[in-house]
Amino acid sequence: MKVMLIILDGMGDRPCEELNGKTPLEAAYTPNMDYLSEKGINGIMDPIAPGIRAGSDTAHLSILGYDPYEVYTGRGPFEAAGEGLVLRPGDIAFRCNFSTVDENMNVIDRRAGRIKEGTHELAEVLNGMEIDGVKVIFKESVEHRAVLVLRGDGLSPYVSDADPHKLGSVYEVRALKSGAERTAEIVNEFVERSYATLNKHTVNMKRRENGLMPANIVLPRGAGMVPQMDSIEEKHGISTGAIAGVSIVKGVCRLAGMEVLDVKGARGTAESDFGAKIGAALDYLKNGDFVLVNIKAPDLFGHDGDPAGKKEIIEKIDLAMARLKEALDNTIIAVTADHSTPCDIMDHSGDPVPLLIAGKGVRTDDIRKFGERTAAEGGLCRIRGKDILNILLQLAGLSEKFGA
Ligand code: ZN
Ligand code: ZN
């Protein structure tokens, strides 16, 4: 049998006044998830551990069987891997913004006027430079975003951000632990050189002529070291694929050795083509064993504090799940979230998330509707994210016996 794990990003929520005390999932009309809920077993899951407020990156790591406390030092490596950079364990990676500074190195626009064109040309002049024997790999991403990788000996991920996260002077990067001083110096040197080269670049000359903010500096943040991670394929002997719209989730999956599938219409927004993602996941399972599908949209409505919007997007996603009913004969299907993003707090919380697992042979319980409260009554009870892969592979007959 095959396994499909669908993660509705940030779907978990708390009772919302606007929805008469229901959560968005409880208030939503979700006949397809309810069908899976009824045919299968339900429970709740602490993505990392009870009460821990998980990020999307650390939660996905945990759900894929890695200990985030061991492999995670910062967001940078997962963003960089998500942008398609080929990384090596020990590389230090950062997320970056192209920003605008004045001649006194004061940030006057953190997003360089949300620059849309020309960042590839700007990135090219920074990519490949060397600083103190360390190789600089730099690539533009969407709009003002970019990723930076430092490759060399003796580097540390424990350095602060150059990005002040507000207007005002550029922060000097500092060592956060002893031994990180040289890395901090290298990042400061990179920031200085980015200003020296980009400020006079023709792309920015033209932007000034057109009254646009020049993208005249690069500000790194979110340093992390690329971890050594045994792939899921090595650990479990199965082929694995992933479908996600946002680069950070793609990056986690890539570093877990999964094949990240390109799906037309997978955008990581509310306009994403959910049906195309589910269809691509079913296609992948014709040959592959395990596929993870991340749908980002519910998290965005949680951050916006919009319960009605979150409810509606869950209904739209549910529609795209109609065709999963036919897959139950040869597929174990799980639906859950990577963390809760309650509309009330507009950020991730440490509340557990609902989880259902359906498919041939799966034990059942009395739950008939998928929701936070109902799932908590289900037969799976309460598990941790790190258990889910084992549970799913066992149900699909894809796991080895431990012992005689
Ligand atoms: Zn998330
Ligand atoms: Zn979020």
**What pLDDT score was predicted for residue 264?**
87
**Residue among 98, 32, 45 nearest 384 (CA):** 45
Q: Is residue 78 part of a domain?
A: no
CA of 338 relative to ligand 2 center, distance in Å: 9
Q: Is residue 293 part of a domain?
A: yes
Domain containing residue 178: 87-224
CA of 10 relative to ligand 1 center, distance in Å: 5
**247, 389: one domain:** yes
CA of 73 relative to ligand 1 center, distance in Å: 17
What residues flank ion ligand 2 with Cβ within 5 A?
299
C-alpha–C-alpha distance, residues 339 and 54, integer Å: 6
CA of 57 relative to ligand 1 center, distance in Å: 7
**213, 297: one domain:** no
Ligand (nearest to CA of 54): 1
**What pLDDT score was predicted for residue 271?**
85
Ligand (nearest to CA of 244): 1
CA of 339 relative to ligand 1 center, distance in Å: 6
**What pLDDT score was predicted for residue 235?**
95
C-alpha–C-alpha distance, residues 32 and 29, integer Å: 9
Structure confidence by residue, pLDDT tens digits, 2-46: 999 999 999 999 999 999 999 999 999 999 999 999 999 999 999
Report the domain count for the chain. Answer: 2
Ligand (nearest to CA of 337): 1
Q: Is residue 81 part of a domain?
A: no
What residues flank ion ligand 1 with Cβ within 5 A?
9-10, 56, 299, 338
**How many residues are present in the chain?**
404
**385, 315: one domain:** yes
Domain boundary among 180, 209, 224: 224
CA distance to 117, 174, 175, per residue, from 178 (Å): 40, 10, 7
CA of 110 relative to ligand 2 center, distance in Å: 21
**201, 161: one domain:** yes
Query: Quick one: average pLDDT of 169-180?
Result: 97
**239, 356: one domain:** yes
**265, 359: one domain:** yes
**198, 135: one domain:** yes
**What pLDDT score was predicted for residue 37?**
98
CA of 196 relative to ligand 2 center, distance in Å: 35
Whichever domain contains 18, its CATH number is 3.40.720.10
Structure confidence by residue, pLDDT tens digits, 58-111: 999 999 999 999 999 999 999 999 999 999 999 999 999 999 999 999 999 999
Q: Is residue 318 part of a domain?
A: yes
CA of 347 relative to ligand 1 center, distance in Å: 10
> Model confidence at 270, in pLDDT bands (50, 70, 90)?
confident
Q: What angle do CA 307, 7, 25 make, to 5 degrees?
A: 30
Structure confidence by residue, pLDDT tens digits, 231-266: 999 999 999 999 999 999 999 999 999 999 999 877
Sign for the CA dihedral angle at 179, 55, 6, 401 comes to positive
> Model confidence at 364, in pLDDT bands (50, 70, 90)?
very high
> Model confidence at 276, in pLDDT bands (50, 70, 90)?
very high
**What pLDDT score was predicted for residue 382?**
98
**46, 179: one domain:** no
Q: Is residue 404 part of a domain?
A: no
CA of 54 relative to ligand 2 center, distance in Å: 9
Q: Is residue 107 part of a domain?
A: yes
Q: Would the pTM of this model clear 0.85, i.e. be above it?
A: yes
The beta strand positions in 189-330, using DSSP E, are: 217-225, 240-243, 259-260, 290-295
Domain boundary among 184, 200, 224: 224
**103, 165: one domain:** yes
CA of 341 relative to ligand 1 center, distance in Å: 8
Q: Is residue 362 part of a domain?
A: yes
**246, 384: one domain:** yes
Average pLDDT of the chain, as a whole number: 97
The answer to whether 225 touches 132, Cβ cutoff 8 Å, is no
**What pLDDT score was predicted for residue 265?**
79
Domain boundary among 195, 224, 253: 224
Structure confidence by residue, pLDDT tens digits, 199-234: 999 999 999 999 999 999 999 999 999 999 999 999
**199, 287: one domain:** no
**What pLDDT score was predicted for residue 269?**
83
Residue type, 55: G
Structure confidence by residue, pLDDT tens digits, 125-142: 999 999 999 999 999 999
Q: Is residue 403 part of a domain?
A: no
Query: Quick one: average pLDDT of 273-299?
Result: 97
> Model confidence at 272, in pLDDT bands (50, 70, 90)?
confident
C-alpha–C-alpha distance, residues 138 and 145, integer Å: 11
C-alpha–C-alpha distance, residues 356 and 24, integer Å: 17
**236, 384: one domain:** yes
Structure confidence by residue, pLDDT tens digits, 315-358: 999 999 999 999 999 999 999 999 999 999 999 999 999 999 99
H-state helical runs in 166-246: 181-198, 202-209, 232-236
